[in-house]
Amino acid sequence: MAQKLGSEFLRPFDQEERPIFLGRTKRQLIVTTGLGVSIALSIGLYLIHFPMIITYILLGVILAPILLYGSKKDLELKERYRFLFTIQKRSYQTDYHYKEVNKRDAFQSQFGVTEVDQTRQSEKKTSETQSQA
């Protein structure tokens, strides 16, 4: 898998799902089967006077993953969590070593270092004194 760096890319067309049975893809068949099983289970539990709270919990446990899979949210969630849990250490090319950047006085002028080019200053002074003479 190529490194995506959090960007959104379109999936290649050759990886799209093809119809399997009656013009439906595998995802559509699984969702239809899951909905049918959950409806049959809820009717059966209702007819035997099963407690409604347990029926709702069972239906939620069955329907939640089926609907996530059928709506293709599983791919999005898988990619998002893979990106969050992957150790992402990026290196950048710089002239500084790791320890030098974090010094407290890194941006203060150091002793004996000036920002002015001393050779040019001395050339200007000599040219000024020669022009005055």
Q: What is the tally of structural domains in the chain? A: 1
- Residue pointed to by tokens 């049975």: 21
Answer whether residue 4 shows pLDDT above 60.
Answer: no
Answer whether residue 102 shows pLDDT above 80.
Answer: no
Q: What are φ and ψ of residue 21, in 5° steps? A: -140, 125
Residues spanned by the domain of 73: 24-85
Q: Is residue 104 part of a domain?
A: no
Q: Is residue 103 part of a domain?
A: no
Tell me the whole-structure pTM to 2 decimals.
0.49
Q: Is residue 77 part of a domain?
A: yes
Q: Is residue 5 part of a domain?
A: no
Q: Is residue 130 part of a domain?
A: no
Q: Is residue 44 part of a domain?
A: yes
**9-46: pLDDT as tens digits:** 666 666 677 778 888 888 889 899 999 999 999 999 99
Question: Is residue 21 classed as helix, strand or coil in its secondary structure?
Answer: strand
For residue 31, what are the CA distances in angstroms to 34, 47, 74, 96, 100? 5, 24, 13, 56, 58
Q: Is residue 116 part of a domain?
A: no
Answer whether residue 79 shows pLDDT above 70.
Answer: yes
Residue-by-residue DSSP string for 65-104: HHHHHHTTHHHHHHHHHHHHHS--------SS-HHHHT-T
**38-73: pLDDT as tens digits:** 999 999 999 999 999 999 999 999 999 998 888 888
Q: Is residue 122 part of a domain?
A: no
